[in-house]
Amino acid sequence: MSYAFVLRTYADIDHLVPLVWKLLEEGEEVHALVAPGYDPAGDHRLRFVSRYERFHLHELWPAGMSKPRGAFRCTVPWAVGFLARHDVKVVAVEWGYGLPAGYDRPLSLAGVRAVAASVVRSVRQALKRDGWQPRVSFTVAARLLGRRTACLPHGLSVKLDVISNPRTQEAINAGGLDWRDRNRFDAYVLNTEHHRRFHLDHAKGDPDRMQTWGALRWSPEWFEINRSLAPQWDWPAADADRLKIVLMAPKWPNMVHVDRGDKMHKRLQELPLAFVAVNGHPRLKLEDHPLRKDPSVDWGVLHEVNQVDSVSLIRAADVVIDVGSSIGLEVLMQDKVLVNPAYIHQLRTLFDEIEGSCVRPDSDDELVAYLAEHAAGRPFEVPEPARRELLRRAVYGEREEPFDVIDTYLQRFRALSASAA
């Protein structure tokens, strides 16, 4: 069978490539279509799967390609031709919106209007070199040809609160989110069961379309492969006697106490026992990081490492400080110490709820006290029950027994392909 994956950013490649690899291992044919705005040349994960004969990488609008040709390759007509020509049975895209209501009946007047609007919009947006447009174009094309579509995770939600940001708060207060467009995928896949429940309870999700398949990115088999693929990174001018700390900056607009986060960063830069590297959130532009706006933050002491792969950073660290994101799972699985300064954010996460999964200071003083303990040779260790519970809820979709996550994705994709036109 032939499958197509539309790839837009580092994050969705990180989460989708494990399935690409498994399909190739099982002898399937995979086409990876890279949207404009991402250069695949230096991506170690794409380089890894490129060694398979049945893998085909298509950079839709590479540097140097003319505007008319590049834009056309991002439109609905080109996507229809591509899927038909390669007999693609399933199209996979990253999380996000789906098709409008007209696509429920494509041959009706409303359906014809919806298709016409999609084609026109695809040309308009493609000319702007919109990185999202190929995702939309291939979703539309799959629907027109009767091929199956799967919307796969570009992240893992460890957040347990319903309200994650002010926009969600406003929507919930107004009666809930209306994400019924997501129900027009054949499968809208979630890593975790609590995230699926959010879609069902607060976003008008269809329980048949919203499916929990587990965390592909952190399934044990792929985790080991991914760790071996990540490039080596060495600390710049690091003193061997100092504690090596990676600070994963939060997604600042999402219920974060920005003032407390700023103070924590400045407290860390004053620590003589530590060498601190700061990794900004990948979904925020550099100018949106509040630390950049504070002249008292000393970037001669704190080292910015935004371009370094997170797996490489964690591998090189002694301690990782993370504010409410799923990268903490990578820390735990690499057997590094995770520090979760919960006083910085207002969200409750799996790391807050599962006792013993991390160090959880309640103030800067407690944070510094732990770092001193670690530097003195007394590091925190995660109890095995806490580790198992975290993996159960974050990787195995709350199933009581671990299962082969990658094989589950493979079998679900094969089932989708068997039902395609």
Same domain for 412 and 340?
Answer: no
**Separation of CA 131 from chain center:** 16
Torsion of CA 402, 406, 411, 415, to 10 degrees: 120
Q: Is residue 224 a part of any domain in this protein?
A: no
C-beta separation of 37 from 46 below 8 A? no
> Which residues of the chain fall below pLDDT 70?
237-240, 253, 281-299
The pLDDT, as a whole number, for residue 301 is 72
Residue 227 included in any domain? no
The pLDDT value given to residue 107: 85
CA 97/CA 99 separation, integer angstroms: 7
Whole-number pLDDT of residue 86: 98
Range of the domain at 157: 2-219+404-418
Residue 195 shares a structural domain with residue 258: no
Which pLDDT does position 323 carry in this prediction? 84
Q: Are 339 and 367 contacting, i.e. CB atoms less than 8 angstroms apart? A: yes
C-alpha angle 8-11-16 in degrees, rounded to nearest 5: 80
Verify that 289 and 143 share a domain, yes or no.
no
Same domain? 275 vs 139:
no
How much is the pLDDT for 235?
85
In a domain, 399, yes or no: no
State whether 151 and 177 are in the same domain.
Answer: yes
| φ, ψ at 331 (rounded to 5°) | -60, -50
The single residue listed with the structure tokens 């006290």 is 369
Whole-angstrom Cα distance, residue 405 to residue 413? 13
How far apart (Å, rounded) are the C-alpha atoms in residues 173 and 169?
A: 6
Indicate whether 355 belongs to any domain.
Answer: yes
The reply to whether 184 and 274 lie within a common domain is: no
HEC string for the chain: CEEEEEECCHHHHHHHHHHHHHHHHCCCEEEEEECCCCCHHHCHHHHHHCCCCCEEEEECCCCCCCHHHHHHCCCHHHHHHHHHHCCEEEEEEECCCCCCHHHHCCCCHHHHHHHHHHHHHHHHHHHCCCCCHHHHHHHHHHHHHCCEEEEECCCCCCECCCCCCHHHHHHHHCCCCCCHHHHHCCEEEECCHHHHHHHHHHCCCCCCCEEECCCCCCCHHHHHHHHHHCCCCCCCCCCCCCEEEEEECCCCCCCECHHHHHHHHHHHHCCCCEEEEEECCCCCCHHHCHHHHCCCCCCCCCEECCCCCHHHHHHHCCEEEECCCCHHHHHHHCCCEEECCHHHECCCEHHHHCCCCCECCCCHHHHHHHHHHHHCCCCCCCCHHHHHHHHHHHCCCCCCCCCCHHHHHHHHHHHHHHCCC
> Same structural domain for residues 211 and 72?
yes
Number of structural domains (the chain) is 2
Specify the amino acid at residue 88.
Answer: V
* Pair 71, 153 in one domain: yes
Q: Residues 209, 79: one domain?
A: yes
Residues 351-360 pLDDT 10s = 999 999 999 9
pTM: 0.93
- 38 and 115 share a domain? yes
How much is the pLDDT for 74? 98
Taking Cα atoms as reference points, which of 52, 66, 68 lies closest to residue 17? Answer: 52
Specify if 94 maps to a domain. yes
Rounded alpha-carbon distances, angstroms, from residue 148 to 155, 272, 273: 22, 56, 55
Residue 189 belongs to some domain of the structure: yes
| Residue 155 within a domain | yes
The CATH number linked to 292 is 3.40.50.2000
124 and 31 assigned to the same domain: yes
pLDDT of residue 283: 58
166 lies in the same domain as 263: no
Q: Does residue 377 lie in a domain region? A: yes
Taking CA atoms, 190 is separated from 193, 275, 322, 335, in Å, by 7, 37, 22, 25
pLDDT in the model for residue 236: 75
Confidence at residue 291, expressed as pLDDT on a 0 to 100 scale:
66
